[in-house]
Amino acid sequence: MLTSIKTNSFAGDKGKELGMMYFRVAIILFGAQLLMGIIAAIQFLYPGFLFEIFDFSVARMVHINALVVWMLYAMIGSVYFMLSDETEHEVVGIGLGKLAFWVLTAAVAVVVLVYIFIQVGSGSEATIWFINEGREYIEAPRWADIGIVAVVIIFYWNVFATYIKGKKTGIITVMVANLMALAGLYLAGMFFTDNISIDQYWWWWVIHLWVEATWEVFVGTLAAYALIKIIDAKREIVEMWLWIEVLMLFGSGILGLGHHYFWIGTPEYWWEIGALFSSLEPVPLIAMFVHVIYDWGKEQGANGTKPVIKNGPAMAWIVINAFGNFLGAGIWGFFHTLPQVNIYTHGTQFTAAHGHLAFFGAYATILIGMFYMGVQYAYGVERLKATFKSKMAIFLITFSLIGMTIALTIAGYEQVLVERAELGGTWNAFFVAQNLPWYVQAQVWRTIMGVVTFIGFIYLVWDLLTIGKEAQKAEA
Ligand code: HEM
Ligand code: HEM
Ligand SMILES: [Fe+2]
């Protein structure tokens, strides 16, 4: 039987500690992401800021690569964290898992240093291999791509072998199957072709099929796991929801891919396919929202007592996840998903508004929730109650991300009206629109909101470092 040295309801110390190693790096990269975002935001206002020292192209690239990488770290960490609880078996290859962690972390460090020190120059076959592959979000050069694949194979083997030896719950079965798809899709982003249509065609397999299919299923399983741990939600109900969500997420998300094939040289039938299936994508997001709220409400009603929320901050972040996923991905995504609308909004700040609220709402939130689960485990406490710092982090980060989204939506709206509709979307129109007051003011507000996000992040880190000790004291 699997045991733990901690007194709370978690089991499998070795896997959990490995998961926590990933969590720590994820938080550091999250901080780096935010700082890069602030630099890029200032460069929107003062284009000369750090020019030829730390160019916008680099700040933006590091911003979004750090985003993807910290989320992948937090996801790998979450899998190692929950694996033993679900399978009731210790993670099989801890030594190998640790080795993979260090190899991956060293590779990430080298890639970032190269990004920072080699900023300009002509592209060639060699630069694809050693410097930068040039594909947004997954710019890592090919040597790192291959390294990542090797590390992920070790990770997946660990998960799969533990699963085979252990108990097979619905949650972990979905997790194991989905991870296979998630990891496999990365391969589609590794084949460079000099035909930009073909290149974009495959690149979207990674980006879209990650965030709108496999990552969504991933957070579905995380929410299911976390609801059982935090509010003792009934497994049968949570798993029933999970299967429905998986069906709907894959049903709409896979062909929803078509909403990126409107204007890149792909056949015109993608207009109809993309419009239809991507319009259905908000439906599972509503289901996920209802699921969390329903379970929460149901547990409250059970035997007339107020439920014990065993991890207050994690629960709060999961509820924000339900709202944020629905708003950022569902609503802001739906706004521009029809080709009739997208022809005007494509590539404007409206896209950035959606990108920020969706990544934050659907992923950052629940992964932060998992960090709190990690803290609860590590300090061995039965209950983690939100502190003033937890609440400040929640408020400042959520408020500022909403503020940023509103600002960017206004900037995008101005671009649609002036740059696209009035001036016909020419290169010149692009610059005219970016110099009008609505746009400039929106960028000012976005920058202010970015600083607020960073202050919230400081509260978050401070809280993660102290809340466990405080809870231990309270329980003693
Ligand atoms: C959590 C899930 C989602 C995330 C994280 C996300 C994120 C993003 C990001 C970052 C982009 C910009 C990509 C680029 O750099 O070109 C984008 C584009 C887009 N997203 Fe999403 N998205 C999500 C879900 C959705 C959903 C559910 C819909 C539709 C209902 C949608 C519709 C679109 C469309 C149409 C574009 C293309 C925008 C353009 O033409 O410029 N997204 N998404
Ligand atoms: C300190 C707070 C932040 C600031 C100041 C900031 C700023 C920026 C800037 C200036 C860009 C470049 C936009 C462009 O090229 O038009 C950008 C892109 C992006 N950021 Fe942030 N960001 C912040 C936080 C975040 C967070 C928390 C997330 C997600 C969780 C995020 C996700 C993204 C994404 C997905 C893009 C690419 C969007 C696109 O190309 O459409 N950012 N950000
Ligand atoms: Fe998409």
* Pocket of ligand 2 contains residue 360 by CB under 6 Å: yes
Nearest CA to ligand 2 atom 6: 37
CA 383 to CA 376: how far, in whole Å? Answer: 7
For residue 434, the ligand closest to its alpha carbon is 2
The closest residue, in CA terms, to atom 33 on ligand 1 is 333
Same domain, 212 and 128: no
In a domain, 321, yes or no: yes
Among 463, 335, 322, smallest CA distance to 387 is for 463
* Residue matched to tokens 């950035």: 352
Q: Is residue 266 part of a domain?
A: yes
Q: Say what the pLDDT of residue 200 is.
A: 95
Last residue within a domain, chosen from 280, 300, 323 = 280
Residues 6+ apart with CB under 8 A from 111: 140, 141, 144
Q: Give, in degrees to the nearest 5, the angle at Cα 123 between 120 and 128.
A: 110
Examine the domain organization and report whether 69 and 187 are in the same domain.
no
- What's phi and psi for 184, nearest 5 deg? -60, -35
Q: Is 63 in the pocket of ligand 2 (CB under 6 A)?
A: yes
CA of 158 to the centre of ligand 1 (A): 32
N-term to C-term CA, the chain:
28
pLDDT tens, residue order, the chain (476 aa) = 576 777 788 988 999 999 999 999 999 999 999 999 999 999 999 999 999 999 999 999 999 999 999 999 999 999 999 999 999 999 999 999 999 999 999 999 999 999 999 888 898 999 999 999 989 999 999 999 999 999 999 999 999 999 999 999 999 999 999 999 999 999 999 988 889 999 999 999 999 999 999 999 999 999 999 999 999 888 999 999 999 999 999 999 999 999 999 999 999 999 999 999 999 999 999 998 888 888 887 766 555 667 789 999 999 999 999 999 999 999 999 999 999 999 999 999 999 999 999 999 999 999 999 999 999 999 999 999 999 999 999 999 999 999 999 999 999 999 999 999 999 999 999 999 999 999 999 999 999 999 999 999 999 999 999 999 999 999 98
In this structure, the residue with its CA closest to atom 42 of ligand 2 is 356
364 CB less than 6 Å from ligand 2? Answer: yes
Q: Is 356 in the pocket of ligand 2 (CB under 6 A)?
A: yes
289 assigned to some structural domain:
no
Is residue 296 in a domain? no
Last residue of a domain, one of 147, 176, 202: 147
Same domain for 262 and 379, yes or no, is: no
**Angstrom distance (rounded) from CA 279 to CA 50:** 41
Residue closest via CA to ligand 2's atom 13 equals 352
- Please tell me whether residues 69 and 123 are part of one structural domain: yes
| 352 pocket-lining for ligand 2 (C-beta < 6 Å) | yes
For ligand 2, whether the C-beta of 454 sits within 6 Å is yes
Residue 215 shares a structural domain with residue 140: no
On whether both 271 and 396 belong to a single domain, the answer is: no
Return all residues near 177 (Cβ < 8 A) that are at least 6 apart. none
Same domain, 458 and 362: yes
Residues 340 and 445 grouped into a single domain: yes
Give the separation between CA 253 and CA 245, rounded to whole angstroms: 11
Taking the C-alpha atoms of residue 112 and residue 89, their distance in angstroms, rounded to an integer, is 36
With beta carbons less than 8 A apart as the criterion, state whether 414 and 439 touch: yes
**Three-state DSSP class for residue 368:** helix
Length of the chain: 476
Give the closest ligand to the alpha carbon of residue 65: 2
Residue nearest to atom 34 of ligand 1 (CA): 337
Domain of 229, in residue numbers = 168-280
Tell me how far the alpha carbon of residue 284 lies from the centroid of ligand 1, in angstroms: 16
Residues 138 and 12 in one domain: yes
**Of residues 206, 289, 213, the one with CA closest to residue 256:** 213
Tell me the average pLDDT of the chain. Answer: 95
Are 321 and 240 in a shared domain?
no
**b/e code 343-363 from CB counts within 10 Å (16+ = b):** ebbbebbbbbbbbbbbbbbbb
For residue 70, is it within any domain?
A: yes
CATH assignment of the domain containing 343 = 1.20.210.10
pLDDT of residue 1: 55
Residue 292 in domain: no
Is the distance from CB of 216 to CB of 248 less than 8 angstroms? Answer: no
**Three-state SS string across 99-137, please?**
HHHHHHHHHHHHHHHHHHHCCCCCCCHHHHHHCCCCCCC
Structural domain ending residue among the three candidates 231, 263, 280: 280
Closest ligand (CA of 332): 1
Residue-level pLDDT at 305: 66
Determine the pLDDT at residue 456. Answer: 98
pLDDT of residue 141: 94
Is residue 61 lining ligand 2, measured as CB closer than 6 Å?
A: no
Q: In whole angstroms, give the CA distance from residue 366 to residue 389.
A: 18
Return the structure tokens found at 470: 């405080």
Separation CA 62–CA 288 (nearest Å): 31
Give per-residue pLDDT as tens, 134-166: 899 999 999 999 999 999 999 999 999 999 999
CA angle 449, 453, 458 (to 5 degrees): 145
Sign of the alpha-carbon dihedral angle for 308, 310, 312, 317: negative
Q: How many domains does the chain have?
A: 3
Q: Is the CB of 37 under 6 A from ligand 2?
A: yes
- Closest ligand to C-alpha of residue 404 is 2
Sequence letter at residue 333:
G
Task: Tell whether 74 and 217 lie within a shared domain.
Answer: no
Q: How many angstroms separate the alpha carbon of residue 230 from the centre of ligand 1?
A: 31
Q: Does one domain contain both 348 and 406?
A: yes
| Residue 301 placed within a domain | no
- If you take atom 41 of ligand 2, which residue's CA is the nearest one? 352
Cβ(67) – ligand 2 distance below 6 Å: yes
Which residue's C-alpha comes closest to atom 7 of ligand 1?
Answer: 355
355 lines ligand 2 (CB under 6 A): yes
The phi and psi torsions of 292 (rounded to 5 degrees) equal -65, -45
Residue 363 CA, closest ligand 1 atom number = 1
Residue 297 lies in a domain: no
Q: Which residue spans within 207-311 are E strands per DSSP?
A: none
